[in-house]
């Protein structure tokens, strides 16, 4: 059985998010949560929160209440680019410099197999 959790419009670039996602891809949930909880990156907080949501969705969906959350495995985890907010900031000599504020979407699939 599988369960899915999504976080949309996370205010961080997909490239920075993928660095942390690659470290936990394919691991058991207990090991991944331990890594994410003590990781200093900003992305690890959002990924940990979404992973906990996926586990909670799995527990809610399963009929067997004796399923151990630590035995679950991350089947699929992906980061896709979201919309980019474009802003302008004052620069020297009356010019304007462009600011790009990227967002991303995070998808996590958890399975018990």
- Write down the pTM of the prediction: 0.89
> How big is the CA angle at 59 (ends 11 and 7), to the nearest 5 degrees?
10
What is the tens place of the pLDDT at every residue in 82-102? Answer: 999 999 999 999 999 999 999
- Residue 18 three-state SS: helix
Give domain limits for the chain.
Answer: 2-111
Q: 93 — alpha (psi -120 to 50), left (phi > 0) or beta? A: left
Q: Domain 2-111 adopts which CATH fold? A: Ribosomal Protein L22; Chain A (3.90.470)
Per-residue pLDDT of 25-67, as tens digits, reads 999 999 999 999 999 999 999 999 999 999 999 998 887 767 8
Q: Are strands 73-90 and 2-10 parallel, antiparallel or unpaired?
A: unpaired
DSSP 3-state helix, strand, coil percentages of the chain (rounded to 5)? Answer: 40, 40, 20
Give the three-state DSSP class for 98. strand
């Amino acid at each position: 059985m599988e369960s899915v959790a999504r976080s949309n419009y996370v205010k961080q670039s997909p490239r920075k998010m993928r660095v942390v996602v690659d470290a936990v891809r394919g691991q058991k949930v207990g090991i991944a949560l331990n890594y994410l909880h003590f990781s200093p990156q900003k992305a690890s907080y959002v990924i940990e929160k979404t992973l906990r949501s996926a586990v909670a969705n799995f527990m809610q969906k399963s009929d067997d209440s004796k399923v151990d959350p630590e035995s679950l495995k991350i089947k699929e985890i992906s980061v896709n680019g979201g919309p980019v907010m474009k802003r302008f900031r004052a620069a020297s000599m009356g010019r304007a410099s462009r600011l790009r504020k990227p967002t991303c979407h995070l998808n996590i699939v958890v399975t018990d197999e």
